A and B are shown apart, each in its own frame.
Chain A
């Protein structure tokens, strides 16, 4: 197992109360696997990713759980060790490529910086200028790999001279530079045009296949996740409410929220006559109900939903946080 997250909790202590941005999140990720983390904005999926890197912004804090990366708990590492692992073992790409590149540095230099700080070519070329040359060559290879045309020239350009799609490719190049084992992708295509979205996704797929790099894809788009991921975790209000193989979830969604999400996707197939949106809006994380977080919006809510719901373990590695499936459950997931 490459990554195992158990009961991760990231809380924000605000003056108005505690926000449980990540609440009892558990999942596993295999070598070379692509996992989707799906949910509406504000459901805690981005915070989950930042928690994995231990980069939760203040006043957020990881208050519990463990993050086992190749068997070692990242939460127990010193901040120095953690710094060394970021970018090298776990890399991250962000939602908006326009803002994730530093506007005052040349794109090529930003890619090179990653190589440099993680000590690539350090031993082989002790001399500064030869090391620099080797690094530059590697950057240009990387830029080629992610599909940036004429990388020799573009190395010296600034982010604002790149289009959105090209910027995201550059960000991916930065992430790839140290050949991390896991790529954390936070809505990598949301800010891009539809055609560019497809290009970026297929680039990520290519990288996954050629390098065997595991990917956690955070997205609000169940359609994208279904196409791209082998497994999917659905998040709602800081919790994972359903987890399983992509095909299982798409064919037979269990949690009413997942069903709602699937029904909200516009389709071109004729068997669904119209969209069925989920009623109500995403609740404020400060005003969550006592029991199941989805209860106020759920059509099938009942008295039992007022109690806290455990994540039930079903067959085939499926898990769901809903009282409806208590009878089928093998046991409670951790």
Chain B
């Protein structure tokens, strides 16, 4: 039964992915004026060869419908075209930058959930206490905080003034790390390279906190309010009346239920995480997809921009698919 629902969700995701592809395509092509003229005008130094390359790549001589057909066909085949500026297939460049981004996103989300869920639970259990008020004030700040500024502030405080943490990159130059998976933390553990591990983690701390902060803020608030809702239920009183310790009541009986709405929100927050990723990578010069796309915008490397945006959008769809499946697992009312 669960499997059927998972397959159903995957099937629903397919038209969404196609739709996203079409929207990206339309925005790229329907911008007033010939895309090539715009590129020439804005970049100023696009060579004849690049123009030809683009004209061929995008089938600009055909009608819009045919162009869309080619676009989708290429996409299905994993062909995202060739970067103007780097002269390499877009997919290769993405593959190269992907591990850095995934590693950062993982630690960002990890930090966010690690902090937010306990805070949400404690705030709900100790509602209106000092700890609740402080945490919720912090969460409110987290929602209002522009993360690019948070990142810079952290650099000014912890790198420039205190000198504790490095300001940019994934690892120090003086550390040699043999690459296996491209995830530096994992690679350094696999190869037993402890100096590299320390360096990689040091480099991860500030970007992860910056990236995870808004997500942590929202998840803490949602966790708190859904815990409050759950704690009013009879089954919580019932669990206490059975003779369960308060810890078990909260962690096993209440939290399991409160996680259900929270998981949905976490799925939506992955979007924030992906968007924030571009900013954080720019602030901390993190060599991932975000920095790749931001830097390629300024040199008008459209195939690269398009490719990375597609990857981001697909990641978001995939993340929500996973959340959906997790939701099915958490909520027995749905799985049957």
Residues on A facing B (Cβ under 8 Å): 50, 53, 55, 57, 83-88, 91-92, 94-96, 99-105, 113-114, 117-118, 158, 160-161, 171, 174, 178
Contact = CB atoms under 8 A, between A and B. Distances in A.
B336 A104 contact: no
A297 to B, nearest CB: 31
Contacts of B5: none
B330 interface: yes
Chain B at the A interface: SS class? helix
A95 B238 CA distance: 11
Given A104-B332, A158-B336, A161-B336, A174 B242 contact: yes
B241 A96 contact: no
Contact of A100 (B238, B248, B332): B238
B242 A87 contact: yes
Interface in B304-336: 330-333, 336
B243 interface: yes
Nearest to A97: B234
Nearest to B241: A92
Contacts of A161: 336
Nearest to A49: B241
Nearest to A90: B241
B153 interface: no
A88 to B, nearest CB: 6
A104 B330 contact: yes
A10 B56 CA distance: 82
A223 B267 CA distance: 52
Q: Lowest 3 CB-CB distances: which A-B pairs, in order?
A: A87-B243, A86-B243, A87-B242
Given A103-B257, A103-B332, A55 B237 contact: yes
Given A103-B257, A103-B333, A104-B256, A96 B242 contact: no
A160 B333 contact: yes
B9 interface: no
Interface string B35-66: 00000000000000000000000000000000
A99 B234 contact: yes
Contacts of A117: 242-244, 248
Contacts of A94: 234, 237-238
B243 A84 contact: yes
A104 to B, nearest CB: 5
Interface string B218-237: 00000000000000011101
B242 A113 contact: yes
A85 B243 contact: yes
B157 to A, nearest CB: 40
11 contacts: A55-B240, A84-B243, A86-B241, A103-B333, A104-B332, A113-B244, A114-B242, A114-B243, A117-B244, A158-B336, A160-B332
Nearest to A104: B256
B239 interface: yes
In this complex, the interface size class of chain B, counting residues with CB under 8 Å from chain A, is 20 to 34
B234 A53 contact: no
Contacts of A91: 241-242
B234 A100 contact: yes
B239 A102 contact: yes
B29 interface: no
Contacts of B245: 83
A105 B242 CA distance: 15
Contact of A83 (B237, B243, B260, B331): B243
Contacts of B244: 83, 87, 113, 117
B202 interface: no
Given A104-B257, A104-B330, A161-B336, A99 B242 contact: no
A87 B249 CA distance: 14
Given A87-B241, A117-B243, A158 B235 contact: no
Among B240, B253, B257, residue most surrounded by chain A Cβ atoms (within 10 Å):
B240
Contacts of A85: 243
Contacts of A160: 332-333
Given A94-B237, A102-B235, A105-B256, 12 more contacts: A83-B244, A83-B246, A86-B241, A91-B242, A96-B234, A99-B234, A103-B235, A104-B257, A113-B242, A117-B244, A158-B336, A161-B336
Nearest to B333: A160
Contacts of A99: 233-235
B165 to A, nearest CB: 41
A111 to B, nearest CB: 10
Contacts of B336: 158, 161
B333 A101 contact: no
A92 B237 CA distance: 10
Nearest to A92: B241
A308 to B, nearest CB: 33
Contacts of A84: 243
A114 B243 CA distance: 8
A237 B244 CA distance: 31
B304 to A, nearest CB: 45
A83 B244 CA distance: 7
Nearest to A91: B241
Point out which of B238, B256, B257, B336 has the most chain A C-beta atoms below 10 A from its C-beta.
B238
Contacts of A50: 237
Given A84-B243, A86-B243, A103-B257, A171 B332 contact: no
